[in-house]
Every structure is written in C-alpha cells, then in structure tokens.
C-alpha cells in the first residue's frame, strides 16, 4: 500500500500532469522564484499521522539545498487543511484550474524558508 507521496520542482509549472499542454518547463531562479511543492497525496487511512508533514519537510530541505528560500503550492481547497494551517499557508489566493475538462478550485499558498 502506498501511504503517501509528493515532491517539489524547480520548474515554473505549479501543477498538472506531464501531458498537460499548459506546462511551463522553464527552470526557476532560486534567488528570485519560489520552489514549487507539488502533487501531495496521502492515503485516507494515514491522514493526520504526520506523513504529509514529513514529505513536506523533505521537499523543503531539498529545495533549500538547491538554493531556494521560498516555496509555493497549489492544493485542493477542501483537502489538507490542517497541514496547510500548521505548515504552509502564509498567503492564500483562490484560483480555478481546468483539468480534464473539469474546473477545480485551487488554493495557492506560499511560505518563506
């Protein structure tokens, strides 16, 4: 069973699959841009057990090692509220994203290192 997964990126795209035509593959500048924390999924049976926090910490550590001092994430408005409240949110902007012809509400979050 997969308990959780997630990662970070030094590319401009905040979210979306490899097949998404709106991807921005350009590299970010760590001195100017925020690292992208991407694609967190935690199995519901493992929610609120610290798995998301451990993955987030590993992402932040790796991004810091690559020279980034800010992090940003786009997340589902309804999921992961506790993790965002405890670990990530510093500013919030609601966005709408079209994924596979569905409009999904996305919360944009940012954090200083």
Q: What is the pLDDT of residues 60-102, one digit of tens each?
A: 999 999 999 999 887 766 665 666 666 655 555 555 555 566 6
What does the alpha-carbon distance between residue 8 and residue 37 come to, in Å, rounded to a whole number? 4
Distances, alpha carbon 33 to alpha carbons 2, 30, 93, 98, 112, in Å: 31, 5, 17, 24, 11
pLDDT, tens digit (0-9, with 9 covering 90-100), for 18-73: 555 566 678 999 999 999 988 788 899 998 898 988 998 999 999 999 999 999 88
- What's the confidence (pLDDT) of residue 98? 56
Residues pairing with 41 in the sheet = 5
- What's the confidence (pLDDT) of residue 58? 95
**CB-based contact 37:72 (threshold 8 Å):** yes
**Of the candidates 111, 113, 107, the residue with the CA atom closest to the CA atom of residue 15:** 107
- 7 or 82, which is more confident: 7
């Amino acid at each position: 069973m997969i308990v959780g997964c997630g990662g970070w990126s030094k590319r401009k795209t905040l979210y979306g699959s490899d097949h998404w035509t709106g991807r921005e593959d350009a590299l970010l500048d760590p001195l100017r841009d925020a690292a992208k924390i991407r694609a967190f999924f935690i199995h519901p049976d493992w929610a609120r057990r610290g798995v998301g926090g451990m993955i987030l910490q590993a992402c932040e550590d790796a991004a810091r090692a690559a020279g980034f001092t800010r992090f940003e994430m786009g997340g589902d408005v309804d999921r992961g509220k506790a993790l965002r409240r405890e670990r990530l949110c510093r500013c919030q902007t609601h966005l709408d994203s079209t994924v596979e012809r569905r409009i999904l509400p996305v919360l944009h979050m940012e954090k200083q290192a």
